[in-house]
Amino acid sequence: MMQIEVPRDQYDQACELMQKRIDSGQVPDAQPGDDPRKYVKKGTFTYASAHNIAASGTIESLCVDLGTGIITSSIPTGISVVIVFSIAIWNGEKPAEAAKAGLVTGLKVFGKGALIYTLTIQLSRSKLAISLTKTYFQSGEFKDVATIANPAFAISEKVASSVSTSALAKSSIGKSIRLDKVTGQLRLVRSRRLLYLVRIFVERYAVEFQPSNYLRIQQSALLASAVLYWDRS
């Protein structure tokens, strides 16, 4: 039987319950007296922490979302650095200046990307924590923070549903960019990557574009599009 992961603080109790199941013959291919630890895995988080991660506004969920945001922002950060550095070189800037421009842009994308991701995921959780409130089991042990329904979740899901069922989403173009798979959560995060890269591209270099640079512009756009498509896939 596959191992069952249980909350960290309930591991000993879970092993005792599994031992009873093993001894009573309820576990397939297990013999009475077998070690229950073969079938029970101690989880990373406690029961309360797992509950708190799933609710917006808790320390646990903010830490997890920020950490994930940092990871996901590394992709658009790398793309931004490469594009800005390349265009700067093509426009005649020195390598040191081009590298500086690329790094500055990358830091902006990284910071804003992580922040936007964290905020987006926080707003998309179905439960919102009530500050400084706690709930308890009947035994009196701490369970988790009290929560209420998150109004932002309901709004985002409603908007996502209208987009995914629209005529555009059902068209070949809409399906190619996965509009029919839109949810109230990750699509917002992915969409801001493209929008933010386009903004940087236009704001920094639109004034410098000359007819002689059109080929370079096309090369940069193709590079960005290829990497973004790979990321989306």
SS3 60: helix
d(C-alpha 185, C-alpha 174), whole Å: 18
d(C-alpha 17, C-alpha 44), whole Å: 20
Q: Among 95, 90, 71, 99, which residue's Cα sits nearest to residue 221?
A: 90
Residue 216 pLDDT grade (very low, low, confident, very high; cuts 50, 70, 90): low
Q: Which of 100-104, 110-114, 133-137, 155-159 has the lowest mean pLDDT?
A: 155-159
- Asked if residue 189 has pLDDT above 60, the reply is no
Mean pLDDT of the chain: 77
Q: Kindly report, residue by residue over 80-96, the tens digit of the pLDDT.
A: 888 888 888 888 889 99
Describe the crossing of helices 186-205 and 59-90 by its angle, rounded to 10 degrees. Answer: 30
Residues 14-22, mean pLDDT to the nearest whole number: 93
d(C-alpha 101, C-alpha 105), whole Å: 6
d(C-alpha 5, C-alpha 14), whole Å: 10
Claim: this prediction has a pTM higher than 0.85: no
d(C-alpha 66, C-alpha 73), whole Å: 10
